[in-house]
Amino acid sequence: MKRHVALIVETSSIYGRQVLSGIIQHMRMFDDWSVFLDQHDLTQEPPRWLANWAGDGIISRTTTPELLQTVQATGVPLIELTDRHQSHGRTYVWSDDAAIGRMAAEHLLERGFREFGFCGFTNEAWSERRQDAFSQRVEAAQRRCHQYESPWYGPDALSWEEEQQRLRAWLRTLPSSCGIMACNDLRGQQVVDACLQEGLSVPEEVAIIGADNDTLLCRVCSPPMSSVIPNAEGVGFRAAELLTQLMNGEVPQKTEHLIQPLGVAERQSTDVVAIDDPDIAAALRYIRENACRGINVVDVTDNVAISRSSLERKLRQYLSRTPQQEIRHVQIKRVCELLTSTELPAEQIATLCGFDNPEYMYVVFRRIVGMTPGKFRSKAKPG
């Protein structure tokens, strides 16, 4: 007989869906579970029918004290994935939020920033753990970390307009050339939008990195946002392993199981070296916004108050690239994005990215990337 397992995991977020994917991987390996999936939002209460449910095991992302009382009364094994508060003392599996915070700090420190910010949510334990680790790593490098937080859910949560007003006011207090970590990609999108409304250039004046790598949210941002990649599938797979142990009558050696993040998905919001020269920041912003329109170096100097010689010298100093190389660098990054996210032919991509013809795009692409666009696309999208 297959064991009856309830999965109380939100399907409304990319993280929840990836957790479920990890659980499914374990299920496919052993094929001995009969599963009920309760589809809901992360903020909803666990279903009331659990009080009378005669199942064999539960994996929950919305554990409450009431659910724990119910589970303890029935004796059904439970693996807790709820990271919005401190653990209830049960066996739990979380993403390692401290490692996520440190990874984001390292990413921004490597880009030469001297001022930092963290934008989080009030009374959310996972956000606080990321904030603490981020701040500690920044302060260990003898740098300052400015902080902003507001409620995520509930009656005290701000409307979009109110949140943007407060974020813009906070951004005005920050020093120029600042690297900011947002506690997750939703918060990161809010920060990117507030920067745009405030007239701050991303990433030249404010570099932003989120967490959870929700590719849709990251690509909605303008420019696309970098994000720390948690191993959500690893969380799900480990939870399924531990639940199997509990249902077999085994006692895990420890209750705390933290899953390390996979790395950083680097996108344009942190594709910068910290630059406190306003003229160079303006030139880089102009290049980023117009490179795919086929501009040249004269267009840059005509639109930014800087001489060609100064632009050449300072770009070599900051980026070890000439202005023309920087234009090509931005164009090829856009080519890479279109190759991986669309099925457009090379001819159309060349036009969209400001190249006169696809043959020249091929030459520049191979020189910068080290392979042809066709090979790059096949490697990025196997099968």
Tens-place pLDDT, residues 47-56: 777 767 788 9
If asked whether residues 118 and 130 sit together in one domain, one would say yes
If asked whether residues 200 and 283 sit together in one domain, one would say no
Please report, for the domain that includes residue 305, its CATH number.
Answer: 1.10.10.60
CA atoms of 70 and 52, how far apart (whole Å): 9
If asked whether residues 89 and 114 sit together in one domain, one would say no
pLDDT at 383: 40
**What are the φ/ψ torsions at residue 337 (nearest 5 degrees)?**
-65, -45
If asked whether residues 49 and 136 sit together in one domain, one would say no
Tell me whether residue 148 is in a domain.
yes
Tell me the per-residue pLDDT of 79-122, one tens digit each, with 9 for 90 and over: 989 888 776 667 899 999 999 999 999 999 988 888 999 999 99
Tell me whether residue 152 is in a domain.
yes
Please report, for the domain that includes residue 54, its CATH number.
Answer: 3.40.50.2300
Tell me the per-residue pLDDT of 273-296, one tens digit each, with 9 for 90 and over: 777 788 888 898 899 889 999 999
pLDDT at 40: 66
pTM confidence score: 0.78
Structural domain count, the chain: 3
Phi/psi-derived region of residue 213, left when phi > 0, alpha when psi is between -120 and 50, beta in every other case: left
First to last CA, the chain: 37
Which of 38-42, 58-62, 188-192 holds the top average pLDDT? 188-192
Q: Which of 181, 170, 365, 335 is nearest to 269 (CA)?
A: 181
Bridge-partner residues for 118, per DSSP? 147, 181
If asked whether residues 246 and 290 sit together in one domain, one would say no
If asked whether residues 226 and 163 sit together in one domain, one would say yes
If asked whether residues 76 and 158 sit together in one domain, one would say no
68: domain range? 3-94+232-260
Tell me whether residue 334 is in a domain.
yes
User: By the 8 A CB rule, do 261 and 231 touch?
Assistant: yes
In the numeric block, which tokens belong to residue 247?
Answer: 């249902």
If asked whether residues 147 and 237 sit together in one domain, one would say no
User: By the 8 A CB rule, do 174 and 117 touch?
Assistant: yes
Q: Which of 354, 352, 356, 355 is nearest to 338 (CA)?
A: 352
Q: What average pLDDT is seen over the chain?
A: 89
Three-state secondary structure readout of 43-63: CCCCCHHHHHCCCCEEEECCC
If asked whether residues 103 and 221 sit together in one domain, one would say yes
Tell me whether residue 88 is in a domain.
yes
Tell me whether residue 383 is in a domain.
no
